[in-house]
């Protein structure tokens, strides 16, 4: 049996280290994430008052809960279409909510990738 020096020097990266690095990265991005969450709240409130959100089943104005649902589904880029904005402002607001959602998901994904990279870097064997 031939020993491979590269293989014997490999260390495994544990989930705990990855999660720790992921949380550290989120902590560094807390200002950006907080700003985006605040913007989501402001856009959601604007949707309720000025967006003309209605239920498509019976064409009645959407309640506050249904409007929050519309905003969350829009930001998550799912968009079921059971509650829709009816004004021009509401449609622009929905586009902005979708963009916020894309940015938020991208930042979380980037933080996860960085967490894996930093944990792997920390577990790498050091050749001296």
The DSSP line for 35-48 is: HHHHHHHHHHHHHH
The pTM for the full model equals 0.82
What was the pLDDT predicted at 12? 82
The per-residue pLDDT string of the chain (128 residues; one tens digit each, 9 = 90 and over) reads 555 555 556 678 889 999 999 999 999 999 999 999 999 999 999 999 999 999 999 999 999 999 999 999 999 989 898 999 999 999 999 999 999 999 999 999 999 999 999 998 887 665 54
Exposed/middle/buried for residue 26 (C-beta within 10 Å: 0-12, 13-18, 19+): middle
CA distance linking residue 56 with residue 125, whole number of Å: 59
pLDDT of residue 62: 94
Architecture per CATH, 15-123: Orthogonal Bundle (1.10)
Could you state, in order of their start, the residue ranges of all structural domains in the chain? 15-123
Rounded CA separation 44/40 (Å): 6
């Amino acid at each position: 049996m031939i020993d491979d020096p590269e293989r014997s020097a490999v260390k495994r990266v544990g989930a705990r280290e990855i999660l720790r690095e992921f949380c550290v990265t989120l902590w560094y991005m807390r200002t950006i994430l907080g700003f985006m969450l605040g913007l989501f709240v402001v856009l959601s409130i604007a949707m309720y008052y000025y967006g003309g959100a209605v239920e498509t089943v019976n064409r009645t104005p959407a309640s506050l809960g249904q409007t929050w649902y519309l905003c969350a589904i829009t930001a998550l880029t799912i968009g079921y279409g059971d509650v829709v904005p009816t004004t021009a402002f509401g449609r622009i607001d929905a586009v902005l909510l979708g963009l916020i959602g894309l940015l938020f998901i991208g930042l979380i994904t980037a933080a996860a990738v960085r967490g894996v990279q930093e944990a792997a870097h920390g577990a790498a064997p050091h050749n001296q």
